[in-house]
Amino acid sequence: MEEIQLTSKELEFAAKLWGLTEEEKKRILPNLTPYQKRFIRHWQDFFNYKVIQEVVWAKHCAEVAKPGDKFVYSGMGEFLPEESNFGCTFGMQVMLPIMHVVRDRICSGLDPTPMGNNYVRCIDKPPEDGGTGGALFKVYCIKSKVKVPPGIYRTGVKIG
């Protein structure tokens, strides 16, 4: 992997994004990891994708999941409730490791849809197995500009 040298503009962006004090800037910015540098360099690219977590199977789901129900996230990982028609946290929490894969693929300039690992189950299980219902989701990405709601990032942090 090539060594990324961030520009002064990118370093200032990182400081604003993370809300660093002057002291923290001096201590943290010179020591960014390769992952952090890629994250800052490609930060705006995350908003060119939406990640879809679509129900493909459900059994006795207490949240009444049905095939076709969807969670929608930005490529950054924010849940987009206005574009989703489902929102059970038992299904959402399985997305954390998948979102790391999606973000890494975006930073690498690849199609962000996870390869070979794009089906996930909610952490619950059907009632006959002691749970309150179960669902299986297909995860995929679409190229689509994400509109970031005002106030979601710190003052002074612009995405466009």
Q: pLDDT category, 89, cuts 50, 70, 90?
A: confident
What 3-state class would DSSP assign to 69? Answer: coil
Entry pTM:
0.83
Listed by start position, the domains of the chain span 8-41, 46-143
What count of other Cβ atoms lies within 10 Å of the Cβ of residue 58?
A: 20
Reading the block at residue 32, the tokens are 């960014």
pLDDT digits (tens, 9 = 90+) for 9-57: 999 989 988 989 999 999 999 999 999 999 999 988 998 999 999 999 9
